[in-house]
Structure formats: C-alpha cells, structure tokens
Structure 1
Amino acid sequence: MENHTLTHEFPEYVQKIAELKASDEKFLKMYVNYEEVNALISHYEEGEQNHTTDEHLTDLRKKRVHLKDDIYNYLHQN
C-alpha cells in the first residue's frame, strides 16, 4: 500500500506544511480534510472485509486527488 500522507507527497514542503498548519486556518481545514479522506481510504483498503462499494472507494480516491491538488496550489502560492 502506498503512503499518501502530505509530507510524503510533498517532501519539499514539509516545513511549510508545519508552519501553515500552525498559523493558517484555511490551510489547516484543507489539511484535516485530506487526512480524514486518506485515513478512510486506508481503512477500507487494509480491511479484510471491504465495507464499502468500489464506486464509493473510487469517489474517495478522486476526492483525495482534488484535495491534494488544492493543497499543492495553496502551498505553491503562499
């Protein structure tokens, strides 16, 4: 299973992520939302029994990609 934490996805922004989490409420909300979706995906992928549909899991993965894009753009612009 792949690691999709933001610090793994954007190692060049580790310091900036930490700073923005502590000082920027908008970024913190995006970060928490991403981490929640990522944790949910991991939960479904790691479980012996999948308690969701393939469609729902695909939708969660798409949401994670969109959130990651938004976060990257925010990191790049701030």
Structure 2
Amino acid sequence: MSHVPHTLAEEFPQFAARISELKQQGGHFATLAERYYEVNREVHGAESGLTPMEGLAEADLRKKRAALKDEIYALLTADAEGVEG
C-alpha cells in the first residue's frame, strides 16, 4: 500500500503534456480529472491515517479511483490514436 498520492501525470507520464492540455480545455476530461483528484485525495487520506475510514470504504474508494483512471486512460489513448491515425 502506497502512502504517496497518485497524480495523473505520475500515473501516465507519457501523456503528461496532453493531460494538462485537456484539463485546460475543460469538458468531460477535465471533469473526470477533477473527480480523480478528489477521490485520490480521499484514498491518500485514508492510507496515511489522516482520515479514519473502515477498510471496506477505503477499498470502495480505491475501486472508484481505478475506474476513473481506466476511463481517463481510455480517453487519452483514443485521442492519441485519432491524432496518429
């Protein structure tokens, strides 16, 4: 279990510039990114003991973070494929 926050740029370093660009544009990606950061902060708080939380609630937050990360990755890779192809 890591006690370090997982930023999107750290999770997807190959897309760091694109993440920043899409967040600045607003829209669906920016909304997903903000939700990811909110959930990520909650997970980090639980993992570090700053926010007391039951194990099942923490596990649910981790699942939510993973689902958001999957959706964000899908958007990043779909966009990259559209640019390349």
Same fold (TM over 0.5): yes
Question: What is the letter of the counterpart of residue 17 of structure 2?
Answer: Q
Shift of 1:2: 4.0
TM-score by length of 1: 0.90
TM-score by length of 2: 0.83
Identity of counterpart residues, as a percentage?
A: 38
Separation in 1 of the partners of 2:24 and 2:52? 35
- Show the 5 A alignment for 1:23-42: 23-42=25-44
Gaps of 5+ in 2: 80-85
Gaps of 5+ in 1: none
Separation in 1 of the partners of 2:5 and 2:57? 20
Number of residue-to-residue matches in the alignment = 77
> 4+ residue stretches of structure 1 with deviation over 2 A?
none
RMSD: 1.3
Encode CA deviations 1:17-45: one digit per residue, 9 max, x unaligned: 01100114110000000000000011111
Separation in 2 of the partners of 1:3 and 1:11? 15
